[in-house]
Chains A and B, each alone.
Chain A
């Protein structure tokens, strides 16, 4: 299948702004589906609210566009009920880690087989540029007109601590790596988190004088380094990308099968 076979063409061009990184995430995700040749009937994409959440409407799989922050909870219900389905949950930074932070850590703790994608553009785009839990100290936003004094989460550290069994980070510059990470995450059994640094030229870019979409993508190239590289030692300010956690632990729905087995013996 070509990637076009995975989209709902009638809704294109999509609603995202020119140069929005979310389209690049969609692009890489479709290629991952294509490479893995997964049947569209076996994919359920669950999203919440925000610019990022609109991604589900464009993909021709089973799509569940839910409420703000709760996509992982909905996905948990789908997965528990039909463990053979592939659950993909793309979320924005506010969706995943502000309003949805609790569901994020608990889904990770359970190690339920869901691929969670955090499309981190450091801003609330849909509502017009308010600071998110990933904007970071010193940034500007419509709700931080003087300076943002909130510190950002490190998604990788958070996911690690919460128990995710596959944790990775990439950027919209590194599209081939992005696709590879998506594939790896989908194939793995367990809770996978992929943070994608993605650009919002319209709000984060303008507010923080980060330049055009092109400039922002360039900055992802310039300000990141492969995990464990020498460059990180020389310039500690660089953001590492690549795979941070990759471990095999029992997956939640498989574990629940054991509960069923035990329960049936006690009938």
Chain B
């Protein structure tokens, strides 16, 4: 199976409560919280589409769209 390729990080800013769980446990340190404590995919080129952020988000605020 080919590695999935990132299309987009869909982040629902209305739902994100800025707990930082996704930021902390991202293996490639792709995510950061902005000044409003909302998550942003700053280093999205590093994303390996493991989707751990999506799976761990307590607010269902992250969705990783891949091209595969």
* Contact A23 B60, beta carbon cutoff 8 Å: yes
Say yes or no for B8: interface residue by CB 8 A criterion: no
Say yes or no for B29: interface residue by CB 8 A criterion: no
* Contact B20 A212, beta carbon cutoff 8 Å: yes
Q: Which of B19, B55, B60 contacts A213 (CB 8 A)?
A: B19
* Contact B20 A14, beta carbon cutoff 8 Å: no
* Contact B15 A27, beta carbon cutoff 8 Å: no
CA distance A16 to B19 in the complex (A): 11
* Contact A27 B20, beta carbon cutoff 8 Å: no
Interface bits B9-52 vs A (CB < 8 Å: 1, else 0)? 00000110111110011000000000000000000000000001
* Contact A24 B58, beta carbon cutoff 8 Å: yes
Most chain-B Cβ atoms within 10 A of its Cβ — which of A7, A23, A179? A23
| Residue on B nearest A19 in the bound complex, by CB | B19
Number of interface residues of A (CB under 8 A): 31
Q: Which of B17, B19, B55 contacts A175 (CB 8 A)?
A: B55
* Contact B21 A19, beta carbon cutoff 8 Å: yes
CA distance A26 to B59 in the complex (A): 9
Q: Which of A14, A172, A179 contacts B59 (CB 8 A)?
A: A14
* Contact B20 A19, beta carbon cutoff 8 Å: yes
* Contact B60 A175, beta carbon cutoff 8 Å: no
Say yes or no for A3: interface residue by CB 8 A criterion: yes
A-B contact pairs, 30 of them (CB 8 A): A3-B60, A4-B60, A7-B60, A12-B14, A12-B15, A17-B17, A18-B58, A19-B17, A19-B19, A19-B21, A20-B58, A23-B57, A24-B58, A26-B60, A27-B55, A27-B57, A28-B55, A30-B60, A172-B56, A173-B25, A175-B55, A175-B56, A176-B55, A179-B55, A212-B19, A212-B20, A213-B19, A214-B20, A214-B24, A217-B21
Binding site for B on A (CB under 8 A): 3-4, 7, 12-14, 16-24, 26-28, 30-31, 172-173, 175-176, 179, 201, 212-214, 217-218
Excluding A13-B61, A214-B24, 8 further A-B contacts by CB distance (< 8 Å) are A12-B60, A14-B59, A22-B58, A23-B59, A24-B57, A28-B55, A173-B25, A217-B24
